[in-house]
Amino acid sequence: MFLLFILFLFNSLPFDMATGNVAKPGCQTQCGNLTVAYPFGIGEGSGCSRDASFDLICNSTDYDPPKLFMDISGNIQVDNISDSEMWVTSYVAFRCYNQLGDVAPNEDYSAWFNLEGTPFSFSQRNKFTVIGCDDFAMITGSNGGDFTSGCLGLCTRPDDVPDGYCSGIGCCQTAIPRGLKTYNATLRSIRNHTRVFSFNRCGYAFLGEEDSLQFHGLQDLSNSSKFYTNDPIVPTVLEWVIQSNQSCIEANECKGNSSCSDTDIGGYRCSCNKGYEGNPYLDPGCHDINECDDKINIRCYGQCINTEGSYSCTCGPGYTGDAKMLDGCKPLANGSKFPVTIFTLALVFGMVAILLGMIAIFFGIRKRKLLKLREKFFEQNGGVFIKQKLKAPGTGGAMTMFSTEQLRKATNNYSEERIIGRGGYGVVHKGILPDASVVAIKKSKLVDAAQTEQFINEVMILTQVIQRNVVKLLGCCLEEEVPLLVYEFISNNTLFHHIHHRAGGMGWLSWNNRLRVALEVADFGASRLVPLDHDQVTTLVQGTLGYLDPEYFYTSQLTDKSDVYSFGVVLAELVTGQKPLCAKRTEEEKNLATYFVKAVKENRLFEIVEPRVLREGTLDQLQGIGDLIKRCLNLHGNDRPTMKDVAIELEGLKKFKNIHPWGQQQTHEESRSLILEVEQGDVTLIPYNTNELESSSGSSNIIFQENKPR
């Protein structure tokens, strides 16, 4: 009978979810023959489920053994749960007629099911089925939109009805859309069964699992006894998901050794990876299955070894073949074990040789690519052109072309411990060459392919310069993306250091020595080298705030007058002993250039001048250099003097000093070098004479009583 078949099918379904799935700790896991795993939980409001929509009720009062029910209406029985589906019982719509064609009393029932607001929807494994020879049924529902479908069952003679399958004669089936959340089934008859009453007086309609129906033809059509029950009896498959507006990646809820899959009905599901079992929704996640212990599903007639997520099955020593087949392992022939050993060893050595060969090929290709890349950078940075220029007559001093390996070795792979300066342009490392000579290696931060020609010109200029005020360029490395320049190493620290950080109050830095330092730098600035095919040189922007020409922020260009501004800041440092930027001064006076110009305009120059400068300089000298610095720091480049003008004025100030009887003659015994620095690392090098600096002294006959040491 049809009804008996449904009940039999229900009892044949699997009982629980995937082996090893568990419930939340401390929660009930069994209800009768069913195991309930998280995210489901037994007991309304028990906290054992993920949320209330996954609560299930175990009725042990009315049933023995207990039965499990959904908490939607309280009477929908749950027969089984898997990791993506739930089997429940649902209602049958039926309508029966008497011989006159009237609907029989209490034998007319519509079926409906509502899953809105739950994580469930009707699976497409269900089919809407109509049974009857004079019946049609409509199913309406919602899957995010309205859905309507129907099915018609017709037959005229009992002999026309096939037995064993639903063909459309006496039985009709139709599919439902994915994600269906609600349905309502109504049943109608064409002629009220008056022509088929002798063998079929009732029609039935339901939504149930397709595989649960085996239509028994006339036997099912003629048997209406107890079939029109008001209890849910049809096995129906529901899909369940974790409802979320987030995707798998965003939610990140699946635990260890599991995977997440987004569904096309909203939400996502977690599942254990192949070879693992457990609950993917609870920590620590899924654990490895020991396949070797599974004698039912895993067949291994040799040596079974469990591995993480899998297993291996091999024949034992002295046997060969397929250990996963019965009698698949065959004993080796006498005398064949030794060749097998040799073969195994040969195979191992062969694989090792192949591996070593692949490694050698890999490093060979890598080395070749590296060489090509270095050649590319060498050409890109103008290496060929520089070589040609160096070979040309009249190019001045020699220059060494260093390789990448040489400089890496010299700087201990550019170790942090070898850094001797940082600035707006990049970093300067101390390097030690194989001949034990010490060099300074300048490594820039930026590279601009459009400025390659300028870089070449600057290298050629520095190569030709042999001047005691300029650090000597020893060579360069063009095999890197950013060219590296190698200079002679100046060990006696920087002018910035001697002005601002020297212990003992800068004893050697007298007014006369300050003037001499300023004049020597100005002399070099006034005689800048310019390539023969250019009218001027535009310097790369590699400066430091406090020294940078304000006009650059509007024009994005640096000119010769920009050098004048930067030199003016250095002069202000020499005169005041203060740093270009100082947070201790007021916001308006934080910048030394602004601070100095304001003081000159307000006739407060002598308030900010270094006390020693004030003691040793004459009034005319101090006023003269103050006015010169003010003009150098003019915000408009066109209104600034040239470096040549600056050098002439400084020479005049120095000579003016020398006519006074208190001026002292200076001796020249030993020369050292001093770095004029705008920021540690942004360097122009000038030498100074130790005896000149340390033995020079002098005092001004103009002493202001109101000036006190700071």
Per-residue pLDDT at 555 exceeds 90: no
Confidence bin at 539 (pLDDT 50/70/90): very low
Q: Which of 167-171, 370-374, 469-473 has the highest mean pLDDT?
A: 167-171
Torsion angles phi and psi, residue 235, rounded to 5:
-70, 120
- Domain membership of residue 316 (yes or no) is no
**Res 312: pLDDT:** 93
CA distances, 294 to each of 19, 280, 306 (Å): 12, 21, 11
Say whether both 658 and 522 belong to one domain.
yes
**Res 146: pLDDT:** 85
**Helices 560-576, 619-632: inter-axial angle, 10-degree rounding:** 140
Say whether both 276 and 196 belong to one domain.
no
**Res 72: pLDDT:** 55
Taking a C-beta distance cutoff of 8 angstroms, is the pair 688, 517 a contact?
A: yes
- Domain membership of residue 429 (yes or no) is yes
Q: Please, what's the b/e burial string for 52-87 (b: 16 or more CB within 10 A of its CB; e: otherwise)?
A: ebbbbbbeeeeeeebbbbbbbeeebbbbbbbbebbb
Say whether both 389 and 519 belong to one domain.
no
Report the alpha-carbon distance of residue 497 to residue 333 in Å, rounded: 88
Q: Domain boundary at 49, 81, 113, which?
A: 81
**Res 338: pLDDT:** 53
Say whether both 517 and 656 belong to one domain.
yes
Say whether both 499 and 479 belong to one domain.
no
Q: Is 25 left (phi over 0), alpha (psi -120 to 50) or beta?
A: beta
Per-residue pLDDT at 710 exceeds 70: no
**Res 502: pLDDT:** 58
Summarised one tens digit per residue, pLDDT across range 2-44 is: 444 444 344 433 333 444 457 888 899 999 999 999 999 999 8
Q: Domain boundary at 64, 81, 98, which?
A: 81
Per-residue pLDDT at 708 exceeds 60: no
Per-residue pLDDT at 183 exceeds 60: yes
Confidence bin at 465 (pLDDT 50/70/90): low
**Res 452: pLDDT:** 66
Taking a C-beta distance cutoff of 8 angstroms, is the pair 276, 284 a contact?
A: no
Q: Is the peptide bond before 434 cis (omega within 30 degrees of 0)?
A: no
Say whether both 193 and 265 belong to one domain.
no
Task: Specify the pTM.
Answer: 0.47
Summarised one tens digit per residue, pLDDT across range 471-523 is: 788 888 888 888 888 988 877 766 777 777 655 445 667 888 888 888 877 76
Say whether both 234 and 116 belong to one domain.
yes
Say whether both 66 and 157 belong to one domain.
no
Report the alpha-carbon distance of residue 429 to residue 442 in Å, rounded: 7
Cα dihedral: 423, 427, 430, 433 (round 10)? -140
**Do the annotations mark residue 443 as ligand-binding?**
yes
Beta strands 400-401 and 473-477, pairing class: parallel
> Average pLDDT of the chain?
79
**Res 454: pLDDT:** 66
Per-residue pLDDT at 66 exceeds 90: yes
Per-residue pLDDT at 224 exceeds 90: no
**Res 467: pLDDT:** 60
**Res 382: pLDDT:** 77
Q: Domain boundary at 208, 240, 272, which?
A: 240
Say whether both 604 and 704 belong to one domain.
yes
**What 3-state class would DSSP assign to 613?**
helix
Taking a C-beta distance cutoff of 8 angstroms, is the pair 557, 606 a contact?
A: no
Per-residue pLDDT at 666 exceeds 90: no
**Res 128: pLDDT:** 94
Q: Is 335 left (phi over 0), alpha (psi -120 to 50) or beta?
A: left
- Domain membership of residue 56 (yes or no) is yes
Report the alpha-carbon distance of residue 299 to residue 48 in Å, rounded: 38
* Number of domains present in the structure of the chain: 5
CATH number at residue 277: 2.10.25
Percent of the chain with pLDDT over 90: 33
Question: Long-range contact list for 198-201, CB < 8 A, 24+ apart?
Answer: 199/133, 199/158, 200/132, 200/133, 200/134, 200/155, 200/170, 201/96, 201/97, 201/98, 201/104
Report the alpha-carbon distance of residue 153 to residue 167 in Å, rounded: 9
Confidence bin at 218 (pLDDT 50/70/90): confident
Task: State which H helix or E strand residue 615 sits in.
Answer: helix 611-616
Taking a C-beta distance cutoff of 8 angstroms, is the pair 52, 43 a contact?
A: no
**Res 671: pLDDT:** 31
Confidence bin at 245 (pLDDT 50/70/90): confident
Q: Which residues pair with 134 in a beta bridge?
A: 154
Summarised one tens digit per residue, pLDDT across range 578-623 is: 888 887 777 777 889 999 999 999 999 999 998 888 898 889 899 9
Say whether both 437 and 548 belong to one domain.
no
- Domain membership of residue 304 (yes or no) is no
- Domain membership of residue 7 (yes or no) is no
Say whether both 607 and 700 belong to one domain.
yes
CATH number at residue 570: 1.10.510.10
- Domain membership of residue 147 (yes or no) is yes
Q: Please, what's the b/e burial string for 306-337 (b: 16 or more CB within 10 A of its CB; e: otherwise)?
A: eeeeebebbbeeeebbebeeeebbeeeeeeee
**What 3-state class would DSSP assign to 441?**
strand
Could you list the residue range(s) of the whole structural domain that residue 264 is in? Answer: 248-289
- Domain membership of residue 271 (yes or no) is yes
Say whether both 636 and 693 belong to one domain.
yes
- Domain membership of residue 336 (yes or no) is no
- The residue-averaged pLDDT of 238-255 equals 91
Q: Which residue has the higher pLDDT, 640 or 382?
A: 640
CATH number at residue 396: 3.30.200.20
